[in-house]
Chains A and B, each alone.
Chain A
């Protein structure tokens, strides 16, 4: 069982990738800097897995040259719709956040490996800020596969807690905010969930700021629970051609776009609490 989780199948190599035009069905502002885009396509959605991502071309933003990567927030194959959660960071993402209903968006997908989805287990999902983005699709599929799902969402304040009500349909939702304005006060890693001794989870899935993911992976490692983290390094191509988005792993530099974005945290160099052995071949 454990071995299964440690192996992330390289599904990105066998899943066909597409470049498709999507139409914006709705654009909902869900807080001060996040929008939820509902998109549809005039052909059936290609197969996609939770944790995979899309590279979105940004038209009408002169300062934006490269595509922008987004987690596939929801994929509804029956309705043939897909949702992306867009955080406004710079000109490119702001342009996407302002898309009107009916606008056409060019999207390359599905990219990356995706989360390994366990069956009939107790699992914990941890999302920090916009790190909740890939967890909706994951939570739904985990629930469908008979898992008991717990979801911990963290943010600076109540304004940064995204979609907590929405996630309640999949399982127990816990919230923590640094200022205590919603849920427990403090960092997600200090949540009482982690103070009950042995955690009742077989896998932890995590997406958020690197610091948060590292702290969660340390907790997971101490209890010998596999921790799957979803990274978001800056990237150009999204398909393993440019080698810009690399992360330092125990098997050398690997592309977040094709070998990830999901990694078992025990593969990542500098993420483990244990002493690192070996040396880098960097010149």
Chain B
């Protein structure tokens, strides 16, 4: 029996499979389909300082091997999260990670500070890469000075594991990764969605209410894999791989490229059992290759 447990900074994960924020709700949406506790952890939907309605409908467009979304961080705000959602998360005994976003540095700090006092939240993932909001989000993640500023400010108030989620919509994701590392990030996760667009030719109109949106799904996997490989070689902190992971083979490829753990995102929409199938597939791969510990895969690319 291969050992699937892994470690990302101070997080002890029972396996390297996490769920990407915004694709897994608060876990409970999936209780009918899988044992959520069997996952390495879940990263819950982004929380902002204030209630947000998100963008108007339509927010979604199916694209070849993927989809565009323009949800725009719809959530009920940190105070609602603390009072109403957090108690419901206590039934899970795996690693619960909160995705944190906002439009201002002060907003990020407020959410992070409140998350810091929640014992059952073992880490936050700083979302400086959401492409669907006019202010904040990706704006923080596309330049080194702003990425450093927000990471540093949150680092001052957040004691536990701080993961920074990076945007692929930059000239050099390596430079951003190095910048947040120096600013105190304990890990980086990448990639968030790629900025894209869909047009309805019959109506001569954009499909999304916001015109542009974030592309996810298998279509982006090669881009994500390349970026994970580049970043993993350039930073000392752990890298969490995200981007179109649908099968165990996809997950293993990201780990070989240097990821210490992975997140399953859009695949959850098509198959709510994708995560547990990926865990079973990783174990099968390890057994077949006579590898006793999943950590041996990390950065194990032969080149």
- Taking a contact as CB atoms under 8 Å apart, the answer to whether A253 and B69 are in contact is no
Judge whether A241 and B57 touch: CB under 8 Å.
Answer: no
Chain A residues proximal to chain B, CB less than 8 Å? 16-19, 57, 63-67, 108, 233-237, 239-248, 252-253, 280-283
Whether A281 contacts B52 by the Cβ 8 Å rule is: yes
Instruction: Determine the distance from Cα of A236 to Cα of B25 in the docked complex, in whole angstroms.
Output: 13
Chain B interface main SS type: loop
Q: List, in ascending order, chain A residues with CB within 8 A of B25's CB.
A: 239-241
Residues of B contacting A67 in the complex (Cβ-Cβ under 8 angstroms): 269-270
Within the complex, what minimum Cβ distance (angstroms) separates A185 from chain B? 28
**Known A-B contacts A18-B32, A63-B64, A283-B135; A243 and B269 likewise in contact (beta carbons under 8 Å):** no
Please state if B270 and A66 are interface contacts (CB–CB under 8 Å).
Answer: yes
- When distances are taken between beta carbons in the complex, the residues of chain B under 8 Å from A57 are 270-271
Whether the Cβ atoms of A244 and B66 lie closer than 8 Å is no
B32:A17 contact, CB within 8 angstroms: yes
Residues of A within 8 A of B6 (CB): none
Interface size on B, residues (CB 8 A): 43
| A109 → B minimal CB distance (Å) | 11
A25 to chain B, nearest CB (A): 25
Label chain A's interface by main secondary structure.
Answer: loop
Docked Cα-Cα span, A248 to B57, in Å, equals: 8
Task: Let me know if B62 and A66 touch, CB within 8 A.
Answer: yes
B23 within 8 A of A: yes
B60 engages A242 (CB within 8 Å):
yes
With known contacts A246-B59, A253-B74, A283-B72, A239–B30 Cβ distance under 8 A: yes
**Bound state CA distance, A64 and B52, in angstroms?**
31
Instruction: Please measure, in the bound complex, the distance between the C-alpha atom of A242 and the C-alpha atom of B270, giving whole angstroms.
Output: 11
Contact B54 A243 (CB under 8 A): yes
Point out the residues of chain B lying under 8 angstroms from A235, CB to CB: 60
Q: Which residues 253-303 of B have a CB within 8 angstroms of A?
A: 266, 268-273
Q: Which residues of A contact B103 (CB under 8 A)?
A: 283
Quick check: B23 and A282 within 8 Å, CB to CB?
no
What residues of chain A lie closer than 8 Å to B273, measured between beta carbons?
19
Which residues of A are found within 8 Å of B63, using beta-carbon distances? 65
**Cβ-closest chain B residue relative to A108:** B272
**Which residues does chain B contribute within 8 Å of A236, judged by CB atoms?**
60, 62, 67, 69, 266, 269
